[in-house]
Amino acid sequence: MGNRGKIESILKKYGWIEKSKIGENTVQHTDLNFIETYFPQFKKLTERGEANPRQCATMQDRILMWKGKKQIYGTQASNLLRPDKRYAIWPIENPRDVNEIRFKSGFNTTVEENAALLKAEYDPSEKLPTAQN
């Protein structure tokens, strides 16, 4: 059984476990179905202070991106937005207020600084990709 199998068996048995019991590591890099299954538990724990709000925001943005929707926190970049395949920050639902939203969720960088860290371009008016891209 690989790491994912072990994690999934723990989550099925116990649900998402509070950070006070296991620390703040989360599962971010897996498939949409897996993340969507356990995200509601993770979000509830975040609201109770038992999970990392930045990791929750990142997971929520990843779900939205994978579903072809605009993200909230500006944590995700993709090479699917531009014909030349350069990395760009995935479109954001509310670009005018994204930095305030980020700071309220515990991020200490702006979306512009995050873009630089990800070596991605940031255009507040970025559009969602179309089927032709």
CA distance 66 to 62: 6
Amino acid occupying residue 60: Q
Decide if pLDDT at 37 tops 50: yes
Confidence of residue 2 (pLDDT cuts 50, 70, 90): low
Decide if pLDDT at 29 tops 90: no
92 forms beta bridges with: 71
Decide if pLDDT at 121 tops 90: yes
67 contacts 36 by C-beta, under 8 angstroms: no
Confidence of residue 8 (pLDDT cuts 50, 70, 90): low
Q: How is residue 112 written in tokens?
A: 């512009």
Top-ranked range on mean pLDDT: pick from 12-21, 27-36, 42-51, 110-119: 110-119
| Residue among 120, 67, 127 nearest 92 (CA) | 127
What's the pLDDT score for residue 42?
Answer: 84
| Residue among 75, 69, 70 nearest 56 (CA) | 75
